Amino acid sequence: AQSVTQLGSHVSVSEGALVLLRCNYSSSVPPYLFWYVQYPNQGLQLLLKYTSAATLVKGINGFEAEFKKSETSFHLTKPSAHMSDAAEYFCAVSLSNFGNEKLTFGTGTRLTIIP
């Protein structure tokens, strides 16, 4: 079975500072990995996805994530935080053979931006 662990349920950064949200995965087969963002009172939106092509994946809103097999990690970063980045972020994993049908989400990290 696959799973993801998000380290830190709450992260606060100053506006303009680096954003780093951590995600480690566990999977018995090569995984597909995703980051989703949830703004208040809305559903989740896809930020970016890793599907065994380039290990550095660029997403929307200036976010990117790097797949590191040796560390079983898929951390999300953004060089300079913006107030509009305040939201909850979810890492998710899917077995490569099943795509969306077996998507398992982490528990989420709430990102707060300090003015």
Partner 1 sequence: DAGVIQSPRHEVTEMGQEVTLRCKPISGHNSLFWYRQTMMRGLELLIYFNNNVPIDDSGMPEDRFSAKMPNASFSTLKIQPSEPRDSAVYFCASSPGTGNPRSYNSPLHFGNGTRLTVT
* Smallest distance from partner 1 to CB 103, Å: 7
Q: Is 100 in the site for partner 1 (CB under 8 A)?
A: yes
- The span from the CA of 25 to the CA of 6, in Å, is 9
Q: Is 101 in the site for partner 1 (CB under 8 A)?
A: yes
Site string for partner 1, 32-71 (x = CB under 8 A): x-x-x----xxxxxx--x-x--------------------
Site string for partner 1, 19-38 (x = CB under 8 A): -------------x-x-x--
* Smallest distance from partner 1 to CB 46, Å: 4
Q: DSSP states of 12-54 as a string?
A: EEETTSPEEEEEEEE-SSPEEEEEEEE-TTS-EEEEEEE-SS-
Which residues lie closer than 8 Å to 56 by C-beta, 6 or more apart?
Answer: 64, 65, 66, 67
Residue count of the chain, please give it.
115
Residues that bind partner 1 (CB under 8 A): 32, 34, 36, 41-46, 49, 51, 90, 94, 96-101, 103-108
